Chain A
Amino acid sequence: MSDSYEIVIGLEVHVQSRTKSKMFCSCDANYFNTPPNTHVCPVCFGLPGALPVPNKRAVELCIKTALALNCSINQETKFDRKNYFYPDLPKGFQISQYDQPIGYSGYTNIETKEGVKRIGVTRVHQEEDTGKSIHNNGETLLDFNKSGVPLIEIVSEPDFRSKEEVTAYCKRLRQIVRYLGVSNADMERGEMRFELNMSLRKKGDQELPKYKVEVKNIASISVLEKVIEHELKRQYEILENGQTPKQETRGLIDMTGETVSQRSKENEADYRYFPEPDIPLIKLSQEMIDEIKNTIPELPQEKKDRYIKEYGIEKDTAEAIINDVDTFLEFESITANVNSQLVSEVSKWFVGDYFSLVNSNKRSKEFKSEWLTELVDMVIQKKITRSNAKEILEESFDTGEYIGNIIKTKGLEMVSDTSVLETVVNRIFTSNLKAVEDARRNPNAAMFLVGQAMRELKGQADAQTVKNMIFDKLKQ
């Protein structure tokens, strides 16, 4: 694409909350891999007389998410009906929120090549999921186990100017909801889904383009990226022909990211939103909001910044550690109560050798990850060599044998006793008289002596220490 256009993207992200029961009824919310239509009740179907009652925990999780995204909270909030017909929605309406969403006017920061960028969060609201339709051989199979599962919708401002920004934001959001314990956000299970609103405008234009293309039901970040690429090409070609792309909803053809026109985009009025008459108003007290605020843990960006500032951990290393909850919990547990130099050194081993072991080898049940810290400490203390440490780690990881035992059995402990080192150096000097003479004239020749000494020590000594000793002795 020529450089004359820029992308304008806004995103709607749906996240399934991790609750035990559904949003408005007591059906079990854990529907994954359950036989069809076994987690449904009259409320799920909206049968006459059914009364939806909001799940308190779900509302709390929505408030928590909104707060973590720096939103203001509507202390008076309510649910509304969004009316439309589709077979996966037998009620004929989805219970959602219209003009008083739980959270509004927030933001979150993402990291881009150009630095930190703030992405506006228009609103965070609570709604319910629909059923699942499977299209198969000319018929559609309906399973309503998913219908009524709590969904948090996070709507962004049209602040994205590149695919990379979109990806960074989606990954950041996924981390945040996982840190909060709001959702597993497992995309394979459909727990996080995306809707893209995209258009192009001439570079330098400040106004939003006159059209907007919406693509719904995008199930993963990688597909989202492909859709953006396809839309970029498609919309660019239309604009270059002097036309304006149609304002419409487009559907995914398959996972290649190609889209096809579905229908002209419905107006908001077509949904005929109105207050859900079966659910009384909700008033959120400041105490309740503050209480929830206090449960928000250190979030990914804060954690990353702290790792860099407090321990001097490298940026990419920090990102790799904070990426998921289990990883940073493990890292923090093995580096608790050690000095920052050691934390920083362990971080390199952790995302380097340790990660590759975790990914490729079978971990022995007896292996304890805090041994990594002990091992790295010994490397810093020059008790073992770096290359031996790698082998020790691998063996310990595979066998579960304590690293100390491996060092002892294999005699890998470095000689750090100066008297032992001096003895060896003296022996090398007396048995290599000619080389000593050469070395006195030409310092480059001294390396031969260092090599001899290291050989005698079987490599179990710090080469720098031995070198210094030999150079000092040569000066005598």
Chain B
Amino acid sequence: MNPKDKITIEEVKKIAQLAHINVDDMEAEKYAKQIGDILAYVEKLKEVDTEGYEFKSQTDLINVFREDIPEPSLEQKEVVKNRQKKSKGGSLVIKSVL
């Protein structure tokens, strides 16, 4: 593995923070190595000669659109069903985020 691709513990913690996952120092060390290995593996793809191949997306489809026609949505009681105790007048209630 190329040393410049090495993932630091700080980087793991930063990614964990962005993903809202708690990671302690030991885990961070473990993940740093694992993520580094994955990246090194992906790095191998660069060895493939892509000369003469066109860029391809996840699918051959292009321009998949919908016409602008509204259709019925879920019913409000469906939406709040799993959170009935924590809804008010149809709004979902969470701890204040202000």
> Hey, which bits of chain A sit against chain B, CB under 8 A?
19-21, 26-29, 35-42, 53-59, 78, 83, 85-87, 133-135, 138-144, 270, 272, 275, 277, 279-283
Number of residues in B with C-beta < 8 Å to the partner? Answer: 33
Within 8 A of A (CB), among B40-98: 57-59, 61-71, 73-76, 79-80, 88-98
8 A-B pairs closest in CB distance: A57-B68, A26-B71, A56-B65, A141-B91, A36-B90, A280-B61, A135-B98, A28-B70
Closest to B20 in A: A85
- Contact (Cβ within 8 A) B68 A281: no
| Docked pose: A54 CA to B80 CA in angstroms | 26
- Contact (Cβ within 8 A) B76 A41: no
Known: A58-B68, A78-B57. 5 other contacts (CB 8 A): A53-B66, A141-B93, A144-B79, A275-B57, A283-B62
Closest to B59 in A: A280
- Contact (Cβ within 8 A) A281 B66: no
- Contact (Cβ within 8 A) B92 A37: yes
Q: List 5 A-B contacts (CB under 8 A).
A: A20-B69, A28-B70, A135-B97, A272-B18, A277-B58
For the complex formed, measure the closest distance between the CB of A135 and the CB atoms of chain B, giving whole angstroms: 4
- Contact (Cβ within 8 A) B64 A280: yes
For the complex formed, measure the closest distance between the CB of A302 and the CB atoms of chain B, giving whole angstroms: 28
- Contact (Cβ within 8 A) A38 B98: no
For the complex formed, measure the closest distance between the CB of B46 and the CB atoms of chain A, giving whole angstroms: 18
Given A42, A139, A144, A282, which contacts B96 in the complex, CB threshold below 8 Å? A139
- Contact (Cβ within 8 A) A282 B97: no
With a cutoff of 8 Å between Cβ atoms, the chain A residues found around residue B65 in the complex are 53-56, 59
* With known contacts A140-B93, A280-B57, A281-B57, A40–B79 Cβ distance under 8 A: yes
- Contact (Cβ within 8 A) A282 B73: no
For the complex formed, measure the closest distance between the CB of A59 and the CB atoms of chain B, giving whole angstroms: 7
With a cutoff of 8 Å between Cβ atoms, the chain A residues found around residue B59 in the complex are 280
Closest to B91 in A: A141
- Contact (Cβ within 8 A) B18 A39: no
With a cutoff of 8 Å between Cβ atoms, the chain B residues found around residue A57 in the complex are 67-68
With a cutoff of 8 Å between Cβ atoms, the chain A residues found around residue B70 in the complex are 20-21, 26-29
- Contact (Cβ within 8 A) B76 A54: no
| Docked pose: A275 CA to B56 CA in angstroms | 13
With a cutoff of 8 Å between Cβ atoms, the chain A residues found around residue B57 in the complex are 78, 275, 280-281
- Contact (Cβ within 8 A) A56 B67: yes
With a cutoff of 8 Å between Cβ atoms, the chain A residues found around residue B75 in the complex are 38
With a cutoff of 8 Å between Cβ atoms, the chain B residues found around residue A37 in the complex are 76, 79-80, 90-92
Interface centre among B62, B70, B89, B94 (most CB of A within 10 A): B70
- Contact (Cβ within 8 A) A54 B66: yes
With a cutoff of 8 Å between Cβ atoms, the chain B residues found around residue A58 in the complex are 68
For the complex formed, measure the closest distance between the CB of A139 and the CB atoms of chain B, giving whole angstroms: 5
| Docked pose: A59 CA to B97 CA in angstroms | 33
| Docked pose: A66 CA to B59 CA in angstroms | 27
| Docked pose: A64 CA to B70 CA in angstroms | 22
| Docked pose: A154 CA to B11 CA in angstroms | 33
With a cutoff of 8 Å between Cβ atoms, the chain A residues found around residue B97 in the complex are 86-87, 133, 135, 140
| Docked pose: A36 CA to B90 CA in angstroms | 5
Given A36, A56, A78, A141, which contacts B66 in the complex, CB threshold below 8 Å? A56
With a cutoff of 8 Å between Cβ atoms, the chain B residues found around residue A134 in the complex are 91
For the complex formed, measure the closest distance between the CB of A442 and the CB atoms of chain B, giving whole angstroms: 79
Closest to A61 in B: B68
With a cutoff of 8 Å between Cβ atoms, the chain B residues found around residue A56 in the complex are 65-68
Given B18, B64, B79, B94, which contacts A87 in the complex, CB threshold below 8 Å? B94
Given B63, B66, B76, which contacts A26 in the complex, CB threshold below 8 Å? B66
| Docked pose: A281 CA to B59 CA in angstroms | 9
| Docked pose: A58 CA to B67 CA in angstroms | 9
| Docked pose: A135 CA to B67 CA in angstroms | 36
With a cutoff of 8 Å between Cβ atoms, the chain B residues found around residue A38 in the complex are 73, 75-76, 79, 90
Given A40, A270, A272, A279, which contacts B64 in the complex, CB threshold below 8 Å? A279
- Contact (Cβ within 8 A) A21 B68: yes
Closest to A24 in B: B66
Given B62, B66, B92, B98, which contacts A55 in the complex, CB threshold below 8 Å? B66
| Docked pose: A28 CA to B73 CA in angstroms | 8
- Contact (Cβ within 8 A) B73 A27: yes
Interface centre among A35, A59, A270, A280 (most CB of B within 10 A): A280
Given B69, B73, B74, B91, which contacts A143 in the complex, CB threshold below 8 Å? B91
For the complex formed, measure the closest distance between the CB of B23 and the CB atoms of chain A, giving whole angstroms: 16
* With known contacts A20-B68, A40-B73, A41-B73, A283–B94 Cβ distance under 8 A: no
- Contact (Cβ within 8 A) B80 A139: no
* With known contacts A21-B69, A36-B76, A37-B79, A53–B64 Cβ distance under 8 A: yes
| Docked pose: A141 CA to B80 CA in angstroms | 12
With a cutoff of 8 Å between Cβ atoms, the chain B residues found around residue A55 in the complex are 65-66, 68
Given B18, B73, B79, which contacts A270 in the complex, CB threshold below 8 Å? B18
- Contact (Cβ within 8 A) B68 A280: no
- Contact (Cβ within 8 A) B62 A139: no
With a cutoff of 8 Å between Cβ atoms, the chain A residues found around residue B89 in the complex are 35-36
- Contact (Cβ within 8 A) A139 B71: no
With a cutoff of 8 Å between Cβ atoms, the chain B residues found around residue A54 in the complex are 64-66
With a cutoff of 8 Å between Cβ atoms, the chain B residues found around residue A283 in the complex are 62-63
| Docked pose: A57 CA to B46 CA in angstroms | 40
| Docked pose: A86 CA to B18 CA in angstroms | 11
